[in-house]
Amino acid sequence: VLKDQGYATGAVGKWHLGHLPKYLPINQGFDSYYGIPYSNDMQRNSAETGKRVTPLMRNEKVAQLLEDEGQRRVTREYTGEAVAFIKREARAARPFFLYLPHTAMHVPIFPHEDFVGSSRNGVYGDWVKEVDWSVGEVLKALDSTGVSEDTLVIFTSDNGHHSEGGNDPEFFDANGPLRGMKRDLYEGGIRVPTIAYWPTHIEAGSTSDHPFYFGD
């Protein structure tokens, strides 16, 4: 739909809507893709080394095979790709749509070394802080290219809290009064916060209880 309106379209990050070529982002309306094509806990054994690896793809080809510690780079690399996309399309004066679904904070948890130990909530909190940093870099790119006032930014989640961390206190697992969790159809599984930022159209500090749906 957006391509038909002249938008440049880019996807950076976790895809998880099919890893075979016909299902990848560039065959689903995106001009470019860089990321892991499913969850970062779906490692496979490398035919060359026998070690458990996760593919980091560019368009339809595997750019790197990441061992677990290599996943510490993904948030930083996603951010660099996203910022480069924004700057490139802003210079070209083209409207653009950027889809940036972070791998963080899916288990296994691998914050970059710069963020390890930086929070009061263990490694999970460390990775949350790194995503906060990433959002800041994206907003800086919009500001520096002069397109902030023409850009709607939406920040949300794909599901409620999860149980993968068990009772480990390092994992945030509170849904307040909502029943259920990830994989449930109760509100605790599907109702999530959303932030919309658009300086010229959305009043700062305003709130809305109007429900909406999006698919990941």
Q: Give the model confidence (pLDDT) of 98-152 as tens digits.
A: 999 999 988 899 999 999 999 998 888 899 999 999 999 999 999 999 999 999 9
* Predicted TM-score (pTM) of this structure: 0.92
CB neighbours of residue 163 within 10 Å: 11
Give the whole-angstrom CA distance, residue 191 versus residue 10: 26
CA distance 69 to 66: 8
DSSP state of 202: S
User: Between β-strands 194-197 and 32-35, what pairing exists: parallel, antiparallel or unpaired?
Assistant: unpaired
Angle in degrees, CA 147, 14, 62, rounded to 5: 105
* SS3 state of residue 11: strand
Point out the residues of the chain with pLDDT beneath 70.
Answer: 164-174, 215-216
Q: Rounded to whole angstroms, how far apart are CA atoms 138 and 29? A: 22
